Amino acid sequence: MKVLSKSDPIVSVILSNNRGIGKAEYNCGDYMYRFIRDDQSKSDWKPTVKGSAARKTAEVACKM
């Protein structure tokens, strides 16, 4: 994971996983996330579930 920008409470990151490389934003206030598509459009905000991989990724991103 690489931080692209941070503007409290939003952090934008590049993610790499078995499906490839992508961009995402995390809201560090409530651990919501959304993906940034190749055309720079953004998905709707989605909640993370405590203990899930998405929540753990959000927590790491917010601490960077």
> How many independent structural domains does the chain possess?
1
Q: Mark residue 38 as left, alpha or beta (left: phi above 0; alpha: psi -120 to 50; beta: remaining).
A: alpha
pLDDT for residue 20: 86
pLDDT for residue 19: 82
Range of the domain at 53: 2-63
Chain centroid to CA 52: how far?
A: 13
1-58 pLDDT, tens digit each: 999 999 999 999 999 888 889 999 999 999 999 999 999 999 999 999 999 999 999 9
d(CA 26, CA 6): 10
